[in-house]
Amino acid sequence: MADLKTVDSPSRSPRVAPLHRTLPGLLRDPLRELVSIADAAPDEVVRLNLGPVRPYLVTEPSHVQRVLRDNAANYSRGGQGLLWRPVRRFTGDGILSDGPEWQASRARMQPYFTAKRIDSLVDTMSRAVSDAIDEFEEPARTGQWLDAGAEFGRVICRAISSVFFADRVTIADQMRIVAAQDAIVKALSARLLLPFVPDAFPLPGDRAFRCAVGMIDDIMLPLVRAERDQPRDDDDLLAALTRARDDDGRPLDERRIRDDVVSMFATATETTYALLTWLLPVLDTHPEVAERLYAELEEVVVPGEVVTREQLGRLTYTRLVLDELLRMYPPGWLLPRSAVADDEIGGTRIKAGSTVIVSSYISQRLARYWERPNDFDPERFRDAQHRRNHRYAYFPFGGGPHQCIGMYLFNLEAPLVVATLLSRYRFRLRQPGVPPVHLTVNLRPGRTVEVALTPLPRRGQA
Ligand code: HEM
């Protein structure tokens, strides 16, 4: 358990987690140590002493609400802040930035991701997922080991291709983009661990980062140019951004379109396939959950056929499993902000310019809000415990003005992928057990999850 001491200051003192006490735990298992620090300081903001950086750790739900929603304007993703500065070298100054540029991007793209619009995509997306999962037939027949992360990446690309590009980027090119994003996420690890190092000072991964960004631009920029030369009337994201105008009525420049399409594609793919990759080891280690999930799929879905809207609405347990997966392995686990002006959170003074860390992972494992927080138990989302909890005890999609724009898309595509895959195949892992967490901008399994599939009988088969 972390040892915390109180430091005197004019308003209520922040709890300080001293480096010499926390370092061994942070080196051994950073997430466990951070949860333990938060558990030891109920209702308080903790100041982490990490040597050159001293961020405030905000985990209490009402405090999280202040940062993400009630006083969101004071907690910016812009400037030189932790995580966002290196991320912006890839995604530019659009939807993943802050201030007026972010606001304009958000306003332009929001209409394409509303619940109503996403709902209109059920049939197209379900068909695309079904076609993508059909491609497992051959590897399943030959018993080939598959990289679950890469395969989920491929299925997700197929699912969202029409929404993003009207299928104008081949799946092979999309997979190249996903692989480059993977390299970028890995390369960002060093910058994330050493946020105080200036960009001009080279770190391991910088070269891989530049190569990967170059590769993505080699695919995206010619596409954006071609679209700008001949705008289309379609309602995919690329066509919509090409037709969009800025506040002065001018078309968006190619960089702006590139930044937003690349940001959206990266967030859509990285988050979803990281989360789905956790599902297989979790089911493998929780056979009782797997059995209930399979029983629901058997009852609702016709094996080998496309999942329908009506069936999707009946996948109650599948959704509970995904809710619990998002509690325990939230891909967007780290939401750092820079305080623009002085503020007070729960009576603790926050100084202008300091870094504030909000983390869904940490808040979603607090022992005072979650019984047996480290147990995977989808039922907790059925019972009253979750509903009694504060809104910001569970926020895998963030909250306030920056709340995830892709939440409805995820809520459609993830159950479709799970239902289609697991109504057609059973799986076996090459290495049993839940992998350790690999800590980067995303929360990923710390090793490749390799899986072999066995086909289930289809309708009419014995
Ligand atoms: C497992 C699925 C997903 C999770 C857990 C997730 C999580 C999050 C979180 C926590 C935020 C808040 C960021 C912040 O406050 O700084 C966010 C924002 C965002 N998400 Fe997602 N996301 C998921 C899927 C998606 C998908 C499918 C898309 C694409 C359509 C997407 C696009 C975005 C974008 C563009 C933002 C920035 C929104 C803004 O700042 O206005 N996400 N997401």
Question: Do the domain assignments include residue 49?
Answer: no
What domain count does the chain have? 1
- Please indicate, yes or no, if residue 37 is contained in any of the structural domains: no
3-state secondary structure 224-260: HHHHHHCCCCCCCHHHHHHHCECCCCCECCHHHHHHH
Across-strand partners of 343? 350
**Complete edge-to-edge strand list for the sheet that includes strand 46-48:** 5-6, 15-17, 46-48, 56-58, 355-358, 335-339, 75-76
Task: Of 3-7, 319-323, 449-453, give the lowest mean pLDDT range.
Answer: 3-7
User: Does 415 score more than 50 pLDDT?
Assistant: yes
Q: Which domain holds residue 187?
A: 55-455
User: What separation, in Å, do the N-terminal and C-terminal C-alpha atoms of the chain show?
Assistant: 56
In a domain, 461, yes or no: no
Residue 304 in domain: yes
157 is in an annotated binding site: no
Count other C-beta atoms under 10 Å from residue 93's C-beta.
18
Distance (angstroms) between ligand 1 centre and the Cα of 435 equals 24
69 has a pLDDT exceeding 50: yes
Q: Looking at the domain assignment, is residue 16 inside a domain?
A: no
Q: Which of 71, 75, 165, 271 to mutate to test the pocket of ligand 1 (most atoms within 8 A of CB)?
A: 271
Q: Which of 87, 127, 59 is nearest to 364 (CA)?
A: 59
pLDDT tens digits, 310-323: 999 999 999 999 99
User: For position 271, which CATH number holds?
Assistant: 1.10.630.10
pLDDT tens figures, 70-85? 999 999 997 666 778 8
**What is the full DSSP assignment across 62-78?**
HHHHIIIIITGGGEES-
Assigned domain for 30 exists: no
ipTM of the complex: 0.98
Q: Indicate whether 46 belongs to any domain.
A: no
Confidence of residue 257 (pLDDT cuts 50, 70, 90): very high
The pLDDT of residue 8 is above 50: no
Separation of alpha carbons 333 and 445, rounded Å = 13
Encode pLDDT of 204-229 as tens digits.
888 999 999 999 999 999 999 999 99
What spacing in Å lies between the alpha carbon of 346 and ligand 1's midpoint?
Answer: 27
Between residues 33 and 7, the one the model is more confident about: 33
User: Is there an atom of ligand 1 within 6 Å of 149 CB?
Assistant: no
User: pLDDT at position 84, please?
Assistant: 82
Q: How far is the CA of 314 from the centre of ligand 1 (A)?
A: 26
Q: Is residue 187 part of a domain?
A: yes
pLDDT at 385: 67
Which residue, 127, 88, 388, is CA-closest to 209?
88
For helices 316-328 and 407-422, the axis angle rounded to 10 degrees is 120
Average pLDDT over residues 10-16: 71
Residue 26 scores a pLDDT above 90:
no
Ligand 1 binding pocket includes 122 (Cβ within 6 Å): no
